Amino acid sequence: MNPALQPAIKSLIVRLHHGSLILPVNLMAELVTGGELTPSEHPGLEGWLQWRNRQIPVVSLESLCMQDAAGESDEGKCLILHTVSALPALPFIALRVQGGLNTLDILPDTLRDDHSGNVQRCPYVARQVRASHLLCFIPDLPTIEAVVAEVLQLTAEQPDAALLE
C-alpha cells in the first residue's frame, strides 16, 4: 500500500520515569490518579488497583526491564489498558506512568528507530523510537500480558471470577 494513503494511527504518548511510551489510543480505558495499590505477592507485579469493581494488575515497564531507579511513580498514576490477548480473566492491565497524556497521529514516517543506549534489549519493548525528538518505547503488550497471566496462573479456559459474582 502506498505510504501516503495509509491512515494515521491516533496514539498516546505517556511519560515513564525514563523515557515515554507510545500506545494506540483505542487501548486506553482510563488514566487513574492517586489510586491506592494493594501490594502484590507476585514478583513482576507492582500491585493491584481497585477500578470499577475489579482488581487490575499493575505493572511497571521499568521494573520489568530492571532499569536503575525504576521505583514507583511519585504521582501514583496508572494507565488502565484493554488487553490484546484473548484471556477472559485478564481484560485489563494497568501500567505505572507519570504526568499527563499527549496524543500524536503516527504516520509511516513519524517514528525513527533509535538504538542509542539500548545495550541490553528489554524483551518487553517491541521498539525503541524517536517521535518528535522524544525517546519513546513501544511496549510488547502480548509479552507483558503473557508474563502477567503466567504470574497469576491464568489460562484461556478460566472464567473471569468477577463476572461470576
Q: How many whole angstroms separate alpha carbon 9 and alpha carbon 149?
A: 28
Give the confidence band of 107 by pLDDT, cuts at 50, 70, 90. confident
Q: Are 144 and 44 in contact (CB under 8 A)?
A: no
Q: Is the pLDDT of residue 50 over 90?
A: yes
Q: Is the pLDDT of residue 155 over 80?
A: no
CATH number of 3-164: 2.40.50.180
Q: What's the pLDDT at 93?
A: 96
Percentage of the residues of the chain whose pLDDT score is greater than 70: 81
Q: What's the pLDDT at 36?
A: 84
CA-closest candidate to residue 50, choices 62, 39, 61:
39
Q: What's the pLDDT at 158?
A: 40
Q: How much is the mean pLDDT over the chain?
A: 81
Cα distance from N-terminal residue to C-terminal residue, the chain: 48
Give the confidence band of 106 by pLDDT, cuts at 50, 70, 90. confident
Q: What's the pLDDT at 79?
A: 94
Greatest mean pLDDT among 33-47, 83-97, 101-115 lies in 83-97
Q: Is the pLDDT of residue 57 over 90?
A: yes
Q: What's the pLDDT at 2?
A: 58
- pLDDT (mean) for 23-43: 88
Burial of 67 (0-12, 13-18, 19+ CB in 10 A): middle
